[in-house]
Chains A and B, each alone.
Chain A
Amino acid sequence: MPAEFDSFTSGNVETRRRRLLTEPPVVRTTLLTLGIGFLVLFIGLPLVTVFTEALRKGWDAYLSALHEPAAFAAIELTLTVAAISVPLNMVFGVIAAWCITKFEFRGKSFLITLIDLPFSVSPVISGLVFVLMFGLQGWFGHWLSDNNIKIIFATPGIVLATIFVTFPFVARELIPLMQQQGTEEEEAAVILGANGWQTFWRVTLPNIKWALLYGVLLCNARAMGEFGAVSVVSGHIRGKTNTMPLHTEILYNEYNFVAAFAVASLLALLALVTLVAKSILEWKLKQAHALHAKSIANAES
């Protein structure tokens, strides 16, 4: 009897404790409704709209909208631009993150702020700066024109604007992680006789590979989807300098709404694939993290 009584009260205390650790059901429900409603309203519905508009006239219309030379050209250009700008920003991001996290120097936070700057610069400005430099009325305009080098209104300009816009993505992803990991492992490697390259390749890279991929993914999504900056430097030549987002706008302006949303849906699909890949990476990242922590704990004990 007493035992039973005991367990009864302790059970009661337990539920009381649990109740105090979370919100009353009313609040819970309200928060859930608000949060999920907000997500559905602001994110779910726009996404659904893209696909319903694209499929408004059925699958055949959808597929034939995509099976069109100008659409192919836009996809090709978008892939080309991403294939050039993403690897460059990946290499730079690793270098910058290495420099910032493995060494102490003056002006470091200023440097980080500068690396971050493109993130808060309006895309319109990002395009404009390259027009000012390489446009015919710009600093190098006449020289470029005389030597028949095309930058603005051609692929190089679009690549430049894209690199600018996606500049911080990889470094931004790596810096916090590498800071957290510290420098002990690299120091140990160097003391054991590894050179810089070996240290990076054998010690650092395995530790950061998932975060790096993650940064590259986001960088890629943004590179393929950039609109404002690219629009300023593109020249909008159908089938030549239109990236997928620009082609979407053009189709939209041609009253070809199904085709516009069809191209847009490809970009949305890309976003979804990115997110799935990202979720997998995040999971791997957590695992790697746990493993790392465990190995350190083992080493210390």
Chain B
Amino acid sequence: MKSRFLTAGILSAALGLFAQAAAAQTEFLNVSYDPTRELYQQVNAAFTKQWEANGGRKLQINASHGGSGSQARSVIDGLEADVVTLALEYDVDAIAQKGLINKDWVKRLPDNSSPYTSTIVFLVRKGNPKAIKDWGDLVKPGVAIITPNPKTSGGARWNYLAAWGYALKQPGGNEQKAKDFVAALFKNVPVLDSGARGSTTTFVQRGLGDVLLSWENEAYLAIKELGPDKFEIVTPPLSILAEPSVAVVDKVVDKKKTRDIADAYLKFLYAPEGQEIAAKNYYRPRDAKVAEKYKDNFKKIELLTIDGDFGGWTAAQKKHFDDGGVFDQIYVAK
């Protein structure tokens, strides 16, 4: 008897919750990848303030974070994102292919629709006991490397391509040597987490590995949050220009009538205020002035580009990361 009343009570409470959820606020969803949590927490707060100060509708910005590929899949499967801010062009392309985003999205915003960039650096333990200075040091015997799985993590694909590019650029470098190099590198990997955050936790919190291949911003954040006295960053002389992509999800904003917010939101990322927030979170800003201000944070190094050195994301994805691609081959060969 009692349990019946209890059930009724719980049910009515649940119904009350639903009613409550339907408040009069415009909900706005940014679906992003793993290491951008702190960045977008600040961006969302700043943008909401600016938007509402300019007489915009009352805004509730929600954020969803996860591996870039799995986030893209969620959007494809119907997660109603107004904007996506993912780790790489390929993942946004995958959404565009399903017709949710216009095919020309890369050209709609400046700099390949990539308001901030980053690169891949090495996070090592304090004092750099294994003396890791460059990519070549990674394949030495006894060096344990932590990186996420390129199959599931956008960041890890940048890691992999940077290593590949390094091997190609060596004297006498060719495809076969590059393949051997990444194969040797992944032989030194004891754990493949599915996302960048998982790898950082493994390296920092679990104490596994000698070096973490990481986004530059993620490495800085890890040091800031988890121990400046325990780790240091090694920036290799050559790395890759990582361009995280942003796009308005056309199908969704048309349906939700939020295109004005979405456009303003992405523009905000390019504006000085947004650029400043990005730089503070250790993303390399595009804006020259902001870049100048924060230039001490970002070492100038030679950067490979995905379009210049790898023939664009579609080609790189097909060759390296698709089923049966080079990455699968180096694992099967073992």
Residues of chain A having any CB pair with chain B under 8 Å: 76, 79-80, 83-84, 87, 131, 134-138, 141, 144-145, 148, 150, 152-153, 155, 213, 216, 235-240, 250, 252-255, 257
Contact = CB atoms under 8 A, between A and B. Distances in A.
A87 B7 contact: yes
A235 B64 contact: yes
12 contacts: A83-B13, A83-B14, A135-B76, A135-B78, A137-B98, A141-B78, A144-B78, A148-B255, A152-B77, A235-B79, A238-B62, A238-B63
Interface string B217-252: 000001001100000000000000000000000000
Interface of B: 3, 7, 10-11, 13-14, 17-18, 29, 34, 37-38, 62-66, 74, 76-80, 98, 100, 195, 197-198, 200-201, 205, 222, 225-226, 255
Given A131-B77, A135-B78, A237 B14 contact: no
A164 B65 CA distance: 26
Contact of A84 (B3, B14, B100, B222): B14
A80 B17 contact: yes
Contact of A237 (B29, B77, B198, B222): B29
Contacts of A87: 7, 10-11
Contact of A136 (B14, B38, B77): B77
A215 B115 CA distance: 54
A253 B11 contact: no
Contacts of B29: 237
Contacts of A153: 74, 77-80
B205 to A, nearest CB: 7
- Residue among A150, A155, A235, A239 with the highest chain B CB neighbour number at 10 A: A235
A250 B197 CA distance: 10
Given A152-B78, A238-B63, A254-B37, 6 more contacts: A131-B77, A138-B77, A235-B74, A250-B65, A253-B34, A255-B201
Nearest to A155: B18
Contacts of B222: 255
A-B pairs with lowest CB-CB distance, top 4: A136-B78, A135-B77, A83-B10, A253-B197
A155 B78 CA distance: 14
Contacts of B195: 253
A87 B197 CA distance: 37
A79 B74 CA distance: 24
